[in-house]
C-alpha cells in the first residue's frame, strides 16, 4: 500500500492550477479538494455548514476563515481523503495555514509538497481576458482581473514563504503547453519520491 500523498497546489488566477490539479489527482488516485466545490456541495446538500455558508453569501459577505476551515476539515475527514488529497484554493491566507496545521498535526499527518505555479502577471491577465471572452463573462473586466491578482499577491502568495521555510515548495514554470507543465510537476514530485502508483495512473 502506497503512503498517502497530501499535496497543495498554489497559483494566481489564470495559472492553470485547476486543470493541473485534476491531472495530478487522477494520477495519484486522490480527490481534489477545492474550496469552491466544497462550498457548493455543502450548500446543495443543505448541510448545517452549507446553510451557514449560504447565509453569509446571500448577505453579500465573504465566508470567514474559521467557517472555510471547518468546511475543509469536514471534507478532509471523509473516507476518500484518507489515502491523500490535493488542496486547491485552500489555505488562501496565513490564518488558514494555521488552521490546516492544527488539523493535520491533530491527525499526525503532513503535506508532502506545495506546488507553486509561477506565471508572469501579464500572462495571467491575458489568459483570464481570453477566458472571459470565451465564456462570455462581461463582468471579468481588466480592472476586476487585476484586483483578483492583487488579492492573490497580498494574501495568498505569503503562504509560500511559510511553506518555503519548511522545504515544501516546488516552484513550477507555468508557461507552456498543458502537457509541458504537467511533466514539470511530475518531475518535481518524483524528485521528492512522490510518484503515482501504476494502478492509479493506469
Catalytic residues: 17, 92, 131, 137, 148
From residue 81, alpha-carbon distances to 6, 65, 73, 109, 201 in Å are: 9, 21, 11, 12, 17
Q: Is 118 exposed, middle or buried (0-12, 13-18, 19+ CB in 10 A)?
A: middle
Say how far apart CA 125 and CA 146 lie, in whole Å: 7
Amino acid at each position: 500500500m502506497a503512503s498517502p500523498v497530501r499535496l497543495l497546489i498554489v497559483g494566481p488566477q489564470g495559472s492553470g492550477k485547476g486543470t493541473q490539479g485534476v491531472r495530478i489527482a487522477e494520477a495519484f488516485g486522490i480527490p481534489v479538494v477545492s474550496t469552491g466545490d466544497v462550498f457548493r456541495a455543502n450548500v446543495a446538500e443543505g448541510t448545517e455548514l452549507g446553510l451557514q455558508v449560504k447565509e453569509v453569501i446571500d448577505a453579500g459577505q465573504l465566508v470567514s476563515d474559521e467557517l472555510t476551515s471547518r468546511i475543509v476539515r469536514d471534507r478532509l475527514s471523509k473516507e476518500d481523503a484518507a489515502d491523500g488529497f490535493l488542496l486547491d484554493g485552500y489555505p488562501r491566507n496565513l490564518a488558514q495555514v494555521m488552521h490546516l496545521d492544527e488539523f493535520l498535526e491533530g491527525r499526525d499527518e503532513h503535506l508532502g509538497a506545495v506546488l507553486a505555479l509561477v506565471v508572469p502577471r501579464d500572462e495571467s491577465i491575458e489568459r483570464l481576458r481570453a477566458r472571459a471572452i470565451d465564456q462570455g463573462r462581461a463582468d471579468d473586466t481588466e480592472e476586476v482581473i487585476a484586483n483578483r491578482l492583487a488579492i492573490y499577491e497580498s494574501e495568498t502568495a505569503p503562504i509560500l514563504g511559510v511553506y518555503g521555510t519548511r522545504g515544501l515548495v516546488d516552484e513550477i514554470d507555468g508557461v507552456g503547453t498543458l502537457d509541458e507543465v504537467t511533466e514539470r510537476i511530475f518531475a518535481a514530485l518524483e524528485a521528492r519520491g512522490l510518484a503515482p502508483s501504476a494502478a492509479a495512473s493506469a
